[in-house]
Amino acid sequence: MDAGESTRMAFDAIRSHKMRAFLTMLGVIIGVGAVIVMVTLGSSLQAEITGQFDTFNPTSMTLSTAETRDDGGFGGGGGFGGGGSGGLVFTEYDVEMMQGLDPELIESVVPSAVVPLISVSFGDVSRTSIQTVSATTMDATMLQTEYTAGGGFEMGRYEAVIGSGVVETFRNKTTNESMGVDDFITLNLMGGQSFEVRVAGILAPSAGDLISMISNTDNSIYVPVDPFYTMTVESPHSGEEARIYGQLTVMARDAESVDDASAAVLDYLENGDSDARELLDPDYGFTISTQKSLVAQISSITATMTTFITAIAAVSLLVGAIGIANIMLVSVTERTREIGIMKAIGSKNRDILQMFLFEAMFIGLMGGVIGLVIGVAGSMVLVRGIFGFLPTFDYLWFFIAVAMGVGIGVIAGYLPAKRATRINTIDALRYE
C-alpha cells in the first residue's frame, strides 16, 4: 500500500468520526497553543526589556563592591547611592586618578552618596515620606531625563534638583499651587542639621517603563556633594582628608569604549595605587555593571522563567498523547473485521501499521496546526491587549509546535497500530 492510499484511508476514518477526532485533538490543541503562548510571552518580554535598555545610556557603568563567593563570583552589590555591601571605599583621590586614566576611554567619573533625612519642608508643610537625598555631581542628562524647569545645581551652593513627584507631594489640593524653581525648601537631616535650599531645577516625570523603575527620579532630591556630604577618611596615598563613597558612575566616551574603560578601571582598582584597594575588606571585590551585563542578566532570568512555564504548559501534551493512544485502540477494535479482510486479500503487516500510524499522525498534525493558530491569536491578545507591548514571535517554535503534534501522534499511535498487525486473520473475519 502506497502513502497516498494510506493518507486517503486515514482521512476517511477521521471524517467518519469528526467529533471523536476533534475531541482527540483537543489535548494536542491545548498543549501546543499553551506552549506557543508561553514562548511568545517570554520572547516578547525579553525583547521589550532589551528595547528599553537600548534607550538607556550605553556608556554608563556603575562601580561598586560586593562580597566574593567561593566560586569566584559576587554576592549582591549596593543600590544607587547606597554603596556596595563592602562599605565606603572610593575616595576623591580614586575619582581623580580614574578620571585621568585614559581620556580617550573615560569621559567622567561621578561619585554619589546618600544623605539621610528626617523630613522635607516647604512653607508650612512638612513631609517625612522622602527619607534620603542623593549627594552627587551629576546633572540631569546623566540621569536619563530632562528638566521641565530650571537646570542643574552648582557645586558649593545650597541648591537642589528635585523630581516631579516631590513637586506633587507638596501641591496644595485647594489652590493647585506647589513649589517651583527659585523657591526654597528645608532639608532636615538625620543628624539634626537643617538647610534651606534653593530649587535649581525640576526633572521631567519618568516614562513609567522598566528603566524608569530602575532609575526612578520622580521622588528624588539631588544636592551637590559640596557642601552636603561631609563623610571623609584619610587617603592612604595622599595622606589628606578626602570624601569617601560607596558607589561611582563611570561614563565612557562612547559605547564602543565601555569594555576597555571597564577593564582600565578594574585594573587600576585591583592592581594600581588605589585607595579603594587599601580600604576594601579582603572578602570583597569590585564590580562594574554595564548596560550589556544588565541585559544579559535579565535575558537569562526571562529565559529561565520561559523554559519553566513552557515545561508546565507542555504537560498538557501528555494528556493529548494519552487521548490519541486511547482513541486509536478504540479504532483498532472497531475495525477488526476490516483488518481481517485487508489481510485476506493480501495486505501485509506493514500496510496495516502504516494505515493506523498515518491516522494517528494526521490527528496530531491537525491538532498541532490548530493549536499553533490558537496560540498565535492568544499571544497577540495576551501580549498586546493585556501587557501592552508588541508580541515577538520565535518562528522556530512554529515548526517545533507542529513537529510536536506529529511526533505525539506517531508515538501515541504506534502501539495501537502494532497491535492491529498482530490480529489473526481468521479471528478478525469472525469478529462481529
Average pLDDT over residues 309-337: 80
pTM score above 0.75: no
Q: How confident is the model at residue 82 (pLDDT cuts 50, 70, 90)?
A: very low
- What are residue 68's phi and psi, to 5 degrees? -80, 140
Q: How far apart (Å, rounded) are the C-alpha atoms in residues 211 and 215?
A: 6
pLDDT band at 80, cuts 50/70/90? very low
Answer whether 266's CB lies under 8 Å from 286's CB.
Answer: yes
**pLDDT for the residue numbered 188:** 92
Domain ranges for the chain, please list them: 3-53+297-430, 87-280
Q: What is the pLDDT of residues 168-209, one digit of tens each?
A: 888 888 888 888 999 999 999 987 889 999 999 998 887 655
Q: With 60 as the cut, is the pLDDT of residue 76 above it? A: no
Query: Among 314, 395, 331, 289, which Cα is nearest to 62's?
Result: 289
pLDDT on residue 174: 80
Please give the helix or strand (H or E) that residue 107 lies within, else none.
Answer: strand 106-122
When pLDDT is averaged across residues 230-253 and rounded to a whole number, the result is: 89
pLDDT in tens, 120-156: 999 888 988 888 888 988 655 555 567 888 888 988 9
pLDDT for the residue 93: 92
Query: In 3D, which of 242, 202, 208 has the Cα closest to residue 222?
Result: 202
CA distance 233 to 326: 77
C-alpha 249/C-alpha 242 separation (Å) is 18
Say if CB 14 and CB 21 are below 8 A apart.
yes
Per-residue pLDDT at 87 exceeds 80? no
Q: Give the residue-averaged pLDDT of 251-268.
A: 88
How far is Cα 300 from Cα 294, in angstroms, rounded to an integer? 10
The predicted structure's pLDDT at residue 403: 87
> What is the 8-class DSSP label of residue 301?
H
Q: How far apart are CA 286 and CA 273, in angstroms?
A: 15
Q: How confident is the model at residue 163 (pLDDT cuts 50, 70, 90)?
A: confident
